[in-house]
Structure 1
């Protein structure tokens, strides 16, 4: 079993309320949490309006599959979230 931890820091310029922040993040739990190989949570910046940090834990039988899933998550997040990715950290166990 191989495990990857992907952490993405996002900037949300112009975000004026926590409600708007939730709307802009657009249900990351529902989108990525459907995959049984992925666990997702907002890991920092809970009360900040202009920033958000999300961590994804990916488990698979091969390291290539873990890396592929991490890349898919990162690409999809950059395309669908109304904000800018300002930091990416990957750790493989």
Structure 2
């Protein structure tokens, strides 16, 4: 069993309220949390309007599968989320 924690910090330029932040970043649970091998949560920057941090825990039988799933998450976020990814970290356990 292999586990990775993927943490992504976002910048939300021009975001003026927590409601707008939820609209721009919202849907992370629906997009990624439905996959049985992925757990997702907002892990930081809860009270800031212009930033957000999300963590994804990915579990798979091989390291290669874990890394592939992390890459797929990053790619999908870049295509679908209205924010700039400013920091991405991966921690393999």
TM-score normalised by structure 1 residue count? 0.98
Which portions of structure 1, spanning 4 or more consecutive aligned residues, are displaced by more than 2 angstroms?
Answer: none
What is the CA–CA distance in structure 1 between the aligned matches of 2:27 and 2:55, rounded to whole Å?
14
What is the CA–CA distance in structure 1 between the aligned matches of 2:23 and 2:80, rounded to whole Å?
12
Q: How far does residue 79 in structure 1 lie from its aligned partner after superposition?
A: 1.0
5+ residue gaps, structure 1, are none
Partner of 1:36: 36
Partner of 2:2: 2
What is the CA–CA distance in structure 2 between the aligned matches of 1:22 and 1:89, rounded to whole Å?
22
Partner of 2:59: 59
Q: How far does residue 7 in structure 1 lie from its aligned partner after superposition?
A: 0.2
CA root-mean-square deviation? 0.5
Partner of 1:17: 17
TM-score normalised by structure 2 residue count? 0.98
